[in-house]
Structure 1
């Protein structure tokens, strides 16, 4: 496992320690989870933006029922 170093001032350190303590997690876990969550949020936003651009180019939509009908054989229902 790789070890990373993060520089914070005293006020930020205290905030991180308090938050980690309240949530019963280590500072390492807090920083790891926070970084991963931020990355995932940004990836989700970019995926949404690409999908929305595609929708604007071709605004065809399908209802849940239409998709279900296309994917599931009626004999299975």
Structure 2
């Protein structure tokens, strides 16, 4: 297992220790889990932005009227299938 040291000012260290003690958590596990969750959240957010970028480039916006015309065509096609 590898050890990573972090430097905190006294106020931040006390703040974290008080939280961990109040929640009855292990300090090392808590810090590890928070750091991993932060990295995963950032990665997920980057994926979301990348996906949305590609979606917006490829998607075609249509007007309400065009959408309603499409529904009429779909309704007509469904009525033929159900006949």
Q: Which residue of 2 aligns with 1:7?
A: 7
Computing the radius of gyration from Cα coordinates, the structure with the larger value is: 2
Q: Which residues of structure 1 form unaligned runs of 5+?
A: 61-77
Counterpart check, 1:46 vs 2:71: no
Cα drift, residue 41 of structure 1: 0.7
Q: TM-score, normalised by structure 2?
A: 0.67
Q: Which residues of structure 2 form unaligned runs of 5+?
A: 61-83
Alignment length (residue pairs): 60
Q: After alignment, is 26-35 or 45-54 more displaced?
A: 26-35
Structure number with higher helix proportion: 2
| Greater relative CO, 1 or 2 (CA 8 Å, sep 6+) | 1
